């Protein structure tokens, strides 16, 4: 069974469109994250939710809106897509939000290409 899964794996869309990426974890973890990995492989956190509550919100344009319907799911909706949004988006999860020694489990990534 896949621990952290994301859909879709690939997403190609036009500038200005609105799209969503979904993430699910079956590990029973309380905390989930969204990361963005750019073309230089730089990996940066965007958001973190703990038990459906937002706990980390980095400097991300408000076109990006995460939603956590329950603690096993964290979706990312992006409005008015721009060329610079092209990246690989990774979902991750940890057992708890703030504990030393927590391993983050990453999903396989969603490759977004904005044309």
**Which residues form the interface with another protein (CB under 8 A)?**
4, 40-45, 48, 56, 58, 90, 92, 97-109
Q: Indicate the residue among 83 and 100 with the shorter CB distance to another protein.
A: 100
What gap in Å lies between CA 79 and CA 27, rounded to an integer?
30
Query: Would you say 33 and 92 are in contact if contact means Cβ atoms under 8 Å apart?
Result: yes
Q: How far is the CB of 109 from another protein (least distance, A)?
A: 5
Q: What string of DSSP letters covers 51-114?
A: TTEEEEE-S--TTEEEEEEETTEEEEEE-S--GGG-EEEEEEEESSSS-TTPPPEE---EEEEE
Q: Indicate the residue among 14 and 103 with the shorter CB distance to another protein.
A: 103
Q: How far is the CB of 54 from another protein (least distance, A)?
A: 13
Query: Would you say 93 and 26 are in contact if contact means Cβ atoms under 8 Å apart?
Result: no
Q: Indicate the residue among 17 and 28 with the shorter CB distance to another protein.
A: 28
What gap in Å lies between CA 30 and CA 20, rounded to an integer?
22
Q: How far is the CB of 16 from another protein (least distance, A)?
A: 27
Q: Indicate the residue among 28 and 101 with the shorter CB distance to another protein.
A: 101
């Amino acid at each position: 069974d896949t621990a952290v899964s994301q859909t879709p794996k690939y997403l190609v869309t036009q500038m200005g469109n609105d799209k969503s990426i979904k993430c699910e974890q079956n590990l029973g973890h309380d905390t989930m994250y969204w990361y963005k990995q750019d073309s230089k492989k730089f990996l940066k956190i965007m958001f973190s939710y703990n038990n459906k509550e937002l706990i980390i919100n980095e400097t991300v344009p408000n076109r990006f809106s995460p939603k956590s319907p329950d603690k096993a799911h964290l979706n990312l909706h992006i409005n008015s897509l721009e060329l610079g949004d092209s990246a690989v988006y990774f979902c991750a999860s940890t057992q708890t939000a703030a504990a030393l020694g927590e391993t983050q489990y990453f999903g396989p990534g969603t490759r977004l290409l904005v044309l």
